[in-house]
Amino acid sequence: MIATKGPVWHQKQKKQGIVPKRLRGLDREATWSFSHTDGWVYGHGTFCLTSHTQHGQLPVLGRFIWMPNSAHEAKRLQVEMPPYKGLIQTICMDSKADDCQLHAHLQQSCRMQLLTVPRSGADKTPERRHMIGQMRGRFNRMIYRQRSTTVEPMQGLVKDIFDLSHCWMRGDANNRWLFAAMGVAVQIAQREAYRHKRSTWRIKEAVLGL
């Protein structure tokens, strides 16, 4: 979640289409979302894919794109994964992906194993118990632990490079192309670092041309 450029539009007023007279420079297309880390944020969202560090490989950014702040990441995951069939075997996502149907869909349609954090006590059906049993295998738990050192830091890297504490621009269309451009710039710098066996994290100067 990235806070909007400009003032915040109160959720109740936004639903009613009421814009206070003194509210200037408002991003009308931004939306509200909540996380336990940041609380409620009015702004725009991002969808990020990051490779895992297996066999000594360095993590790299696979995808960094705009999405509505209020959209569900797990639903976006289901849309984004089919083109990667045969290229990706395992997907790690936070508890938002705790969905039995999503797990089955990715296995059957994309041949991908989804790993997430199942809700406590939510193991009442055979389908749920089967899904949880797969996720809690020793190897899968080891793979999922890598998420804390790949996915989350990678999003933080992009935000740090471009100072994304707030959006640079207003509106869905502007942020859509801007986030995509930021993602490509990071990918180019990481590709060069990877080719020369340098850290794919220390790329800020290369991205910004410093």
| DSSP codes of every residue in 144-183 | HHTHHHHHHHHHHHHHHHTTTTB-SS-SHHHHHHHHHHHH
With cut-offs at 50, 70 and 90, classify the pLDDT of residue 132: confident
- Judged against a pLDDT cut of 80, whether residue 198 lies above it is answered with yes
| Residue spans of alpha helices (H) in the chain | 11-16, 73-80, 100-110, 126-135, 138-145, 147-161, 172-195, 204-208
Q: What is the mean pLDDT of residues 128-139?
A: 85
pLDDT for 170: 95
- Judged against a pLDDT cut of 60, whether residue 55 lies above it is answered with no
Q: Which element (helix H / strand E) includes 53?
A: none
48 DSSP β-pair partners: 64
Percent of the chain having pLDDT more than 90? 41
pLDDT for 145: 84
- Judged against a pLDDT cut of 90, whether residue 56 lies above it is answered with no
Give residue-wise pLDDT tens across range 17-46.
889 888 889 999 999 999 888 899 999 999
pLDDT for 54: 59
Give residue-wise pLDDT tens across range 77-130.
988 898 888 888 888 888 888 888 889 899 899 899 999 888 877 778 888 888
Give the relative orientation of helices 172-195 and 147-161 as an angle to the nearest 10 degrees.
Answer: 120
- Judged against a pLDDT cut of 90, whether residue 57 lies above it is answered with no
Alpha carbons within 13 angstroms on the beta-carbon side of residue 167 total 35
pLDDT for 144: 86
This prediction's pTM: 0.84
pLDDT for 53: 64
- Domain borders along the chain are 2-208
Q: What is the mean pLDDT of residues 176-194?
A: 94
Q: What is the mean pLDDT of residues 136-160?
A: 85
